[in-house]
Chain A
Amino acid sequence: MASCITAADGEHRNRSGTSLADIQVDLNLYGTLAAFAGGKYIAQKKVSLHEGAVIRDLMDLLAIPYDQKSYLFINAVLCDVPGLLASLGEPLRDGDRVGIFSLQHMWPYQYRDGIRMSESLTEALRKHGAIHNTY
């Protein structure tokens, strides 16, 4: 059964000291990243974050090093790929499903040609050019 991680008390308060409305996302970590949420190769958790949180906040909360993520999805939209950091600023909303994969995961192109990608990733890929998967 999915467990719940909540940001430490006090992190989510505005200037007046009142608590901001939390949001909750369904987080799925795969491969070696699962260890950051108590799993072996799969961890499925509900994570509470502050309103307005972005992917960077989620990864920071679980102390996931940015350079260890590969593919990242929000609600079935591809937002990041190995070798890029295009998703850190992606906003999260209550009820979002987030999937983050380790560098062991590879997704051959013929199986993803034509899938839905975020605008940020599309732009990042356009700017970056060739990426080689020999890290």
Chain B
Amino acid sequence: MAKQILRINMSKLEATYEPVPEKWARWGGRGLTSAIVCDEVDPACHPLGPNNKVVIAPGWVSGSPAAPSSGRTSFGGKSPLTGGIKEANSGGLSSQKIAKLGLAAIIIEGMPKDGKWYSVFVNKDGVKFEDAGALAGKGMYEVDTLMWKKYPNKPAVIGIGPVGEMKLSNAGISVNDPENEPGRYAGRGGLGAVLGVRGVKVMVIDDTGGPGVDVANKDLFTEGRKKLTDAIQAHALTKKDGGLWTFGTNVLMNIINEAGGLPTRGFSAGQFEGAAKISGETVAENIEKRGGVGTKHHACHPGCIMQCSSIYTHEDGTAFVSSIEYETSWSLGANCGIDDIEYIAQATRECNDIGLDTIEAGNAIAIAMEGGYLKYGDKAGALKTFDEIRKGTPMGRIFGQGTEATAKAFGVYRIPTVKGQSMPAYEPRAIKGIGVTYATTPMGADHTSGYTIAPEIAGVGGKVDPLTDTDKTGLSLTFQAATAFIDSTGYCLFIAFPILDIPEGWDGMAKTVAGVTGQDVTGEKVIDIGKEILKKERLFNEAAGFTKEDDRLPEFMREELLPPHNVKWTLPDEELDKVYAWVHAG
């Protein structure tokens, strides 16, 4: 059965099913959300106005039989945080279920004339709109629980917390995990506010009886799936008992700290004396010690064989939160001068419940500390900010707007943002390569925009000698293009590690995409396909008013030395301008 586009008009409370037009037929995931946003959203529109849209797309292989770790859902729109195009993707249950309903994408447009909140239920029989006024103001833990009580088939639940309802720029979109916890987020860029504008409090996706995903070439798909699975299970980072399996993404905390690249107390130092206490190693020790329902290996979506998620527990072994990611532990911890993992677990739960991106939330709190509203290390004060946001007090609404708005409120100049989006857990003055990606990606400062493995290790995704070739701008573009492609597959971005290190894995990944879609996708074409996506996104941003001056790291990073290496950001602006010069080079 040919895939369809489901268009949901919230002004009319109508849903229509459309054939996928030729211009979008070859795309999935991020490639598709960005194509639709570029075609249907006026780049000059106000992100919270009637002309923005939320586009939801599973990746190419999501929902196909036993493609490993392929449950990522892409969410796209114009970002209220950056003012540019945004794709944020999430694990959880939604990707595979949307795909199994035969849908290439869901486009949500318009806004209810009555100003009410709605729930949108989607199954094989169509779309049902219901008044969701009773859910207004509720956090996502309760919303998810209520939806599974109401709908018995354990559906995917996509929703927004109070932050999205208030249409604040740091509102994420929650997706439930297999245990029906709301910890999976399309967090970055404020797309939760865009969904809030549409009047959608929650979407429920039930794929029971759906047509499933057609596989164009089963032999090719099976061959690719086996190669990819073997590569994931062989690689040191992704295999069972490997780094992600054992310590989750927070395996990086101590490494980045030892390297002097851990942004500490508002990006004022590169090492945090309390890093070990909030690291993946500490989380693992506590989970083992406490027993109960805790686990170090948790799949955020069915079929994930890497299982980097975890379930963190209280001291009595009952569930606390899933999951404490590296960027979350850094943002709410080291960046705020806080070394208490129990506080971080609680703060993570608060973010998951009220619907905040944890990276932006921690940066906003750190800015308030920088501005003297709170002191660095003040856990009680930091927790109070979540209450303020939940209640929608004027102070809470400032925090909920993210880092730049908070900086303006407190008169802070040292603002770690690019294009309005705050930096994640890697100090660009110490880890210089990622600074190029922060500066130039269309998404704003983002650690997931430029994925690859070491060129000196790989030799698969482009041979570069990082020791002699200082062209970090060319390297960053390759990273960004490979990432845009993987974000389109539905695979978790972490497959990048094995497939870029193991040639058979790279080949296998391309074969699964070719096998499912029937398209001529090979490993050699990946970078070019990724660049097509980047070009669309770049041109959208230009039409939205972005110039090369927006591709810059914050001024203070050129002015201040970062200890312990005592380095500044020194890359010339002209180098940054080279990254996307090709877009207009014909």
Residues of A within 8 A of B (CB): 28, 30-31, 34, 40-42, 44, 71, 73, 75-76, 78, 82, 97, 99, 101, 103-116, 122, 125-126, 129-135
Q: Binary interface profile of B, 255-266, with partner A (CB < 8 Å = 1, else 0)?
A: 110111100000
Greatest chain B CB density within 10 A among A30, A107, A109, A126 is at A109
Given contact pairs A108-B497, A112-B431, A28 touches B254 in the complex (Cβ within 8 A): yes
A124 CB to nearest chain B CB (Å) = 10
Cβ contact within 8 Å between B434 and A42: no
Distance of A130 Cα from B453 Cα, bound (Å): 12
Cβ contact within 8 Å between B243 and A111: no
12 additional A-B residue pairs with CB within 8 Å, beyond A106-B237, A107-B255, A109-B452: A28-B276, A78-B259, A101-B254, A101-B258, A106-B236, A107-B252, A108-B497, A110-B447, A111-B256, A116-B430, A125-B467, A134-B501
Cβ contact within 8 Å between A99 and B258: yes
Given contact pairs A41-B285, A73-B259, A82 touches B236 in the complex (Cβ within 8 A): yes
Distance of A105 Cα from B259 Cα, bound (Å): 14
Query: Which residues from B are CB-within-8-Å of A82?
Result: 236
Cβ contact within 8 Å between B456 and A125: yes
Distance of A103 Cα from B237 Cα, bound (Å): 9
Distance of A122 Cα from B466 Cα, bound (Å): 10
A102 CB to nearest chain B CB (Å) = 9
Residues of B within 8 A of A (CB): 234-237, 241-244, 246-247, 251-252, 254-256, 258-261, 270-271, 276, 279, 281-282, 284-285, 288, 426, 430-435, 437, 447, 450-459, 466-468, 472, 475, 479, 496-497, 501-502, 564-565
Cβ contact within 8 Å between A126 and B467: yes
Greatest chain A CB density within 10 A among B235, B258, B433 is at B258
Cβ contact within 8 Å between B235 and A134: yes
Query: Which residues from B are CB-within-8-Å of A30?
Result: 254-255, 281
Cβ contact within 8 Å between B252 and A130: no
Distance of A120 Cα from B464 Cα, bound (Å): 20
Given contact pairs A105-B251, A108-B237, A115-B431, A132 touches B501 in the complex (Cβ within 8 A): yes
Given contact pairs A42-B276, A110-B437, A104 touches B432 in the complex (Cβ within 8 A): no
Q: Can you list 13 A-B contacts (CB < 8 A)?
A: A31-B246, A31-B247, A34-B281, A40-B285, A42-B276, A73-B259, A105-B255, A106-B236, A106-B244, A111-B261, A116-B565, A130-B457, A131-B456
Q: From A41, A99, A106, A114, give the contact of B497 (CB < 8 A).
A: A106
Cβ contact within 8 Å between A73 and B258: yes
A123 CB to nearest chain B CB (Å) = 9
Query: Which residues from A are CB-within-8-Å of B437?
Result: 110
Cβ contact within 8 Å between A116 and B281: no
Query: Which residues from A are CB-within-8-Å of B282?
Result: 41-42
B476 CB to nearest chain A CB (Å) = 9
Cβ contact within 8 Å between B426 and A111: yes
Q: Which residue from chain A places its CB closest to the CB of B457 in the assembled complex?
A: A131
Given contact pairs A103-B236, A104-B246, A110-B450, A28 touches B259 in the complex (Cβ within 8 A): no
Q: From A78, A104, A116, A129, give the contact of B242 (CB < 8 A).
A: A104
